């Protein structure tokens, strides 16, 4: 079937089989290499995207589910000032994701900050509860996200 969607702000059309998962469609057909699916079961979080502004794990959806919808991925965030806020916050709090999961952690952080620029620790930890990462200090990560919110608030006030 033919699929039309908005990907990182650009209109995209592509053919897709009805049996293809969204994460595979995004990686293989649209070359979004920031997605690193490892569980295909909603357990690791490494396929996180924003779908119409909502955080979803793209391994859990069929590709055709995004017909007419808008997707933001890590590739759509990385060249923005919003990305700088996130990385600055992570850096300040020694929250250093590895290259494998950085993209998912940025997307999840973006989803948190789109709902509030002043999240508390519990809200951050809940947002990351669907991810698997044995090597991050999640308290540092939560502080990093909160700090990123501070950077973004400051930047928006300076306009």
Distance of closest approach, residue 78 Cβ to ligand FES, in angstroms: 17
**C-alpha distances out from residue 100 to 45, 47, 71, 111, 156, Å:** 11, 11, 21, 19, 30
Contacts with ligand FES: how many residues (CB under 6 A)?
Answer: 19
Q: Which is nearer to ligand FES, 100 or 115 (CB)?
A: 100
Distance of closest approach, residue 40 Cβ to ligand FES, in angstroms: 5
Report 86-145 residues binding ligand FES (CB under 6 A). 97-98, 100-101, 133, 135-136
- The answer to whether residue 50 forms part of the interface with ligand FES (CB under 6 A) is no
Distance of closest approach, residue 123 Cβ to ligand FES, in angstroms: 20
**C-alpha distances out from residue 17 to 7, 63, 73, Å:** 18, 8, 21
Single residue of 1, 4, 42, 54 touching ligand FES by CB under 6 A = 42
DSSP state of 28: I
Strand partners for 55: 50
Helix, coil or strand: residue 122: helix
With DSSP H G I counted as helix, E B as strand and the rest as coil, what are the percentages for the chain, rounded to 5?
45, 15, 40
Distance of closest approach, residue 45 Cβ to ligand FES, in angstroms: 5
- Chain residues in the site for ligand FES (CB under 6 A): 37-40, 42-47, 57, 59, 97-98, 100-101, 133, 135-136
């Amino acid at each position: 079937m033919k699929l039309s969607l908005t990907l990182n702000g650009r209109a995209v059309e592509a053919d897709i089989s009805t049996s293809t998962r969204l994460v595979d469609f995004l990686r293989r057909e649209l070359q979004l290499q920031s997605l690193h699916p490892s569980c295909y079961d909603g357990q690791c979080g490494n396929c996180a995207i924003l779908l119409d502004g909502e955080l979803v794990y793209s391994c859990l959806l069929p590709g055709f589910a995004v017909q007419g919808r808008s997707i933001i991925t890590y590739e759509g965030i990385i060249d923005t000032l919003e990305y700088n806020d996130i990385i600055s916050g992570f850096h300040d709090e020694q929250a250093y994701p590895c290259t494998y999961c950085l993209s998912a952690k940025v997307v999840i952080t973006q989803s948190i900050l789109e709902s509030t620029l002043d999240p508390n620790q519990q809200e951050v930890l809940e947002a990351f509860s669907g991810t698997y990462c044995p090597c991050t200090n999640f308290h540092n990560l939560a502080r990093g996200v909160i700090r990123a919110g501070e950077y973004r608030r400051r930047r928006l006030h300076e306009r």
